[in-house]
Chains A and B, each alone.
Chain A
Amino acid sequence: MNLDSLYQEIILDHYKRPHGAGLRDPFEAEVHHVNPTCGDEITLRVHLEAGTVSDVSYAAEGCSISQASASVLNDLVVGKPVTEALQVLDSFQALMQGKGQVEADEEVLEDGIAFAGVAQFPARVKCALLSWMAFKDATTRAVEESA
Chain B
Amino acid sequence: MTITAAGVDYDVLKVREDFPILGRTVANGLPLVYLDSANTSQKPRQVVEAIERHYLEHNANVARAMHTLGAEATEAFEGGRTRIAEFIGAPSRDEVVFAKNASEALNLVARVLADAGRLGADREVVITEMEHHSNIVPWQLATERTGATLRWFGVTDDGRLDLDGIEQLITERTAVVSLTWVSNMLGTVNPLDVVIRRAHEVGALVVVDASQAVPQMPVDVASLGADFVVFTGHKMVGPTGIGVLWGRYDVLAELPPFLGGGEMIETVTMERSTFAPPPARFEAGTPPIAQSVGLGAAADYLDALGMENIAAHEHAITAYALGRLQEIDGLRVVGPQTAEERGGAVSFTLGDIHPHDVAQVLDSRGIAVRAGHHCAKPAHRRFGVQSTTRASFYLYTTEAEIDALVEGLVATQKYFGG
Write the residues of chain A forming the contact surface with B, with a CB cutoff of 8 angstroms: 1-3, 6-7, 12, 37-41, 61-65, 121, 124, 127
The reply to whether B372 and A63 contact each other, CB–CB distance below 8 Å, is no
The tally of residues in B whose CB lies under 8 Å from a CB in A reads 18
B357 engages A64 (CB within 8 Å): yes
| B360→A3 contact, CB < 8 A | yes
Check if A1 sits within 8 Å of B416, measured CB to CB: no
The number of inter-chain residue pairs (CB within 8 angstroms) is 46
B354 touching A64 by the CB < 8 A rule? yes
Closest to B374 in A: A39
For residue A37, which residues in chain B have a CB less than 8 angstroms away from its CB?
372
Q: Which of A1, A2, A3, A62 contacts B354 (CB 8 A)?
A: A62
B372: chain A residues at CB < 8 Å are: 37-39
A61 to B381, CA, bound (A): 14
Taking a contact as CB atoms under 8 Å apart, the answer to whether A39 and B373 are in contact is: yes
Please name 27 pairs of A and B residues whose Cβ atoms are closer than 8 Å in the assembled complex, sorted by A: A1-B27, A1-B28, A1-B364, A2-B364, A3-B360, A3-B415, A7-B360, A12-B416, A38-B355, A38-B371, A38-B373, A39-B373, A39-B386, A39-B387, A40-B356, A61-B386, A62-B354, A62-B356, A63-B354, A63-B355, A63-B356, A64-B354, A64-B356, A64-B416, A65-B356, A65-B357, A127-B356
Residue interface mask B16-38, A partner, CB < 8 A = 1 = 00000000000110000000000
- In Å, the complex CA distance between A39 and B361 comes to 19
| Residues 365-382 of B contacting A (Cβ, < 8 Å) | 371-373, 377, 380
Q: Is the CB of A3 within 8 A of B361?
A: yes
CB atoms of A124 and B360 under 8 A apart: yes
- Docked Cα-Cα span, A64 to B352, in Å, equals 10
* Cα(A16)–Cα(B27), bound, Å: 27
Select from chain A the residue with minimum beta-carbon distance to B353: A64
Alpha-carbon distance A28/B372, docked complex (angstroms)? 32
Residues of B within 8 A of A62 (CB): 354, 356
For residue A6, which residue of chain B has the nearest CB? B360
Q: Which residues of B contact A121 (CB under 8 A)?
A: 360
Nearest to B372 among chain A residues (CB) is A38
Q: How far, in angstroms, from A12 to B386 measured CA to CA in the complex?
A: 21
Are A3 and B356 in touch, CB under 8 angstroms? no
Cα separation A39 to B364 with both chains bound (whole Å): 22
> What's the minimum C-beta distance from B356 to chain A, rounded to whole angstroms?
4
Interfacial chain A residues near B356, Cβ < 8 Å? 38, 40, 62-65, 124, 127
Give A108 to B352 CA distance when docked, in angstroms: 32
CB distance from B43 to the nearest CB of A (A): 23
In chain B, positions 303-362 with a C-beta closer than 8 Å to chain A are 354-357, 360-361
Contacts of B371 in A (CB 8 A): 38
In the bound complex, CA of A7 to CA of B380 (Å) = 27
Task: Point out the residues of chain B lying under 8 angstroms from A63, CB to CB.
Answer: 354-357
| Bound form: Cα–Cα A2–B415 in Å | 13
**Shortest Cβ gap from B269 to chain A (Å):** 44
A40 to B380, CA, bound (A): 13
Instruction: State whether A39 and B377 are in contact (beta carbons under 8 Å apart), knowing that A3-B415, A61-B386, A121-B360 are contacts in the complex.
Output: yes
- Closest A residue to B354 using CB positions: A63
Query: Residues of A contacting B387 with CB < 8 Å?
Result: 38-39
Contacts of A1 in B (CB 8 A): 27-28, 364
A61 CA to B377 CA, complexed, in Å:
14
